[in-house]
Amino acid sequence: MLHRQPCSIPEATFCSLLQAGKLSQARQLLKTGCEFCPNSEDVWLEAARLQPPDMAKAVLAQGVAANPLSIALWLQVAASCASSSTRGHKASLLPMSCLVLIWQRQVAVLA
């Protein structure tokens, strides 16, 4: 008997949507995934990856709000700020996290 994780079928659907070039439907599926699995940083990261840069920041902000201790999400926030026109706002990004590891990686990304 094959044991499947609960996300294997939606993941297959998502992959087939991407392969078929149905980006808007893939985004919608990820939006639903973010609603039903708000603690899954992988879902938030993938949802942000498929968005245009301005929308990706909003998705990441929602992901960080749902997972404030997620190092991967914080690093993606730092990377998106470092690669955009908000690079001058380093000081506002650094105090956001209380974890030393996140803060150190943010500094490294923004340096």
CATH 1.25.40.10 fits 8-110, yes or no: yes
| pLDDT average, residue stretch 60-70 | 90
**Average pLDDT in the 1-19 region?**
60
pLDDT for the residue 88: 46
Question: Domain boundaries in the chain?
Answer: 8-110
So what's the pLDDT on residue 12? Answer: 66
Instruction: Please tell me the pTM assigned to this model.
Output: 0.68
Nearest 10 degrees: CA dihedral of 94, 68, 80, 25?
Answer: -170
Average pLDDT value for the chain? 75
DSSP for 7-20, written as a single string: THHHHHHHHHHHHT
Percent of the chain with pLDDT over 70: 66
